Amino acid sequence: MHTTVGVIGGGPAGLLLARLLHNAGIDCVLLESRDRAYVEGRQRAGILEQGTVDVLRECGAGARMDREGLVHDGIELRFDRRSHRIDFPSLTSGRRVMVYAQTEVVKDLIAAQLDNGGPLLFEAKAEAVTGVDTGQPMIHFTHEGRDQTLTCDYVVGCDGFHGVARSAVPGGVLTTYERTYPYSWLGILADVPPSCDELVYAHSSRGFALHSMRSPTVSRLYLQVPNGTDPADWADEHVWDELDARFAVDSSWKLERGPITAKAVLPMRSFVAEPMRYGRLFLAGDAAHIVPPTGAKGLNLAVSDVVVLANAFAHLRTTGSAELLDAFSATCLRRVWRAEHFSYFMTTTLHTDPRQSPFDTRLQISQLDRITTSTAAAAELAENYVGPPIV
């Protein structure tokens, strides 16, 4: 079994890359270790940058997103019992974001791939990648109870932080950078209409809180909690009471409560592995980098990675030049580090570190106050949040 590009991982990065390669006339086989139901049910991010929205439309996977997604023109910051709205279009020449769950993006891309794309194999577990420093790398995988080998001209690892692709890079080649944070998020899904029109980011002496949504009838909310927290220790009423306290402002705003349908704890960390290429192996998405979710960058970085890579493969096909493939890692890492910095900034500005002093808290409030009183500071946040154009 042979293909031009072998892709490991059927998340949004791998699926979008397969779609873009198909549209460019480039052969591709996509291997996903889980079954379709599991992949389509994974709860992940829900904020799409303007560039991500544009890419999904252009590749033919944006119709349902445009019908069901929620266009947001800003976010609300809350601190010191005050609220302030950051208006994106006025600060970014009209750019905005879309609330559309990653689960829905994945469903749309799977449907498109199965309808008219290249092979997409579910329950095809990649066990190893070999020969990436040769002209014909191989993906060794199991499918339908049999050991199989896929030979490729190139391999792309979109298989996440714990996947096999990155481990195929020899020791000493990669440099990794990592930061772990002394807190996590307790995330909930609730069958209740959102209590806000746009996302609310709240700084509080009790810890951070975020009010988001999945649809006009489903709310997605998060609480800062200590690392190692067990979701079972948080009774539903306790969750709502704590959210109420952290979102409190001196106004008539009210947090609507409803049945909680899911709870999970999400650790916070930053990670980058560079370079994102070795020989004929390329890394994209979480296989190469992770950001804390405060800046809403994870999915959008993955999209940027595979757009850059798909364009480079298309350039090779039409011109015979590997120039863009050779520039892939450097091109992507510029955006990755900008997103890492923004995510770090949002995380450390809005969360309460258990070790921080009153002085540290006053610095946070000063920074938030500057964002809400300075057009230049607000524009810096807005431009990073909606994301730069994808190169």
Q: What is the pLDDT of residue 122?
A: 97
Q: What is the pLDDT of residue 317?
A: 96
Q: Render pLDDT for 244-255 as a digit per residue (tens, 0 to 9).
A: 999 999 988 999
Sorting pLDDT into bands at 50, 70 and 90, what band is 211?
very high
Distance (Å, rounded) from C-alpha 347 to C-alpha 208?
9
For residues 62 and 357, the answer to whether their CB atoms sit within 8 Å is no
Q: What is the pLDDT of residue 1?
A: 87
3-state DSSP assignment of residue 126: strand
Specify the fold of 181-267+352-386.
D-Amino Acid Oxidase; Chain A, domain 2 (3.30.9)
Q: Render pLDDT for 32-55 as a digit per residue (tens, 0 to 9).
A: 999 999 999 887 778 999 999 999
- The CATH superfamily holding the domain 2-70+100-178+269-348 is FAD/NAD(P)-binding domain (3.50.50.60)
Q: Residue 57: which residues within 8 A CB-CB, separation 6 or more?
A: 65, 66
Domain ranges of the chain: 2-70+100-178+269-348, 181-267+352-386
Enzyme catalytic residues: 72, 201, 293, 297, 385
Please check the confidence at residue 90 and state whether its pLDDT lies above 80: yes
| Alpha-carbon torsion, ordered 114, 119, 123, 125, to 10 deg | -150
